[in-house]
Amino acid sequence: MASTSDIRNGLCIKFNHDIYKIIEFLHVKPGKGPAFVRTKLKSLTTGKVLDNTFSAGHKIEDVRVETHTFQFLYAEGTQFHFMNNESFEQITLNKDILDAPDLLKEGTNVMVQINTETDLPLAVDMPASIVLEVTYAEPGVKGNTATNATKPAKVETGASVNVPLFINEGDKIKIDTATGSYMERVKE
């Protein structure tokens, strides 16, 4: 058993007969009244996100998890196939368990959290950013805007990302996997 002082991002807990992962938390100490922890929880079975407030000192039941590095092999419909980099064991995960499945490129290493009690995968942590090649982008016309304008571009995984006007087909761009937004152009 853990308490609210042990809450951190990525912690998996049992709550309301389900397993949740803490996405965000905020310790709040108001001037009047007891302290509390405001959290945003994501269900690892359904993918639903809910807000919950725990009072200070509240006991929470944490789930023991092991984190292993897996390599993404290929996608087959809504099923994504991964291989453990240490034991070469393969697992198949549903698209719902992934945060950004449309940004996943074959050969990418991800961290998979596995419940030690049931040996079932709970969550997949993508790398913070990923470099992908632009396969289609409308040509940007110079001088048609006075502010930072963007245009939609398709990347090699099929995802659509808003990029600045100077990005062309064949450019490699770095994408933030948490938000799915353009970060920078990558020179080789």
Which uninterrupted H or E stretch holds 69?
A: strand 65-76
**Confidence at 135, pLDDT banded by 50, 70, 90:** very high
List phi, psi (to 5°) of 123.
-150, 155
- Tell me how far apart the 2 most distant CA atoms of the chain are, in Å: 61
Tell me how crowded residue 177 is: count the other CB atoms within 10 A of its CB: 18
pLDDT of residue 38: 93
pLDDT of residue 82: 93
Residue among 5, 13, 117 nearest 60 (CA): 13
Kindly report, residue by residue over 43-61, the tens digit of the pLDDT. 877 778 899 999 988 898 8
Burial class (CB in 10 A: 0-12, 13-18, 19+), 132: buried
Mean pLDDT along residues 57-71: 88
- How far is the C-alpha of 115 from the C-alpha of 165, rounded, in Å? 45
Kindly report, residue by residue over 142-167, the tens digit of the pLDDT. 666 667 778 889 999 888 999 988 88
Residue bearing the bigger pLDDT, 159 or 123: 159
Mean pLDDT along residues 62-75: 89
Structure letter (DSSP) for residue 144: S
pLDDT of residue 142: 66
Q: Helix or strand or coil: residue 54?
A: strand
pLDDT of residue 46: 75
pLDDT at position 65 over 90:
no
pLDDT of residue 45: 74
Indicate the average pLDDT of the chain.
87
Structural domains of the chain sorted by starting position, each given as residue range(s) with its CATH number in brackets: 2-62 (2.30.30.30), 65-125 (2.40.50.140), 129-186 (2.40.50.140)
Kindly report, residue by residue over 14-44, the tens digit of the pLDDT. 888 888 888 899 999 988 889 999 999 988 7
- How far is the C-alpha of 128 from the C-alpha of 176, rounded, in Å? 6
Residue among 46, 8, 38, 28 nearest 122 (CA): 46
Query: Amino acid letter at 144?
Result: N
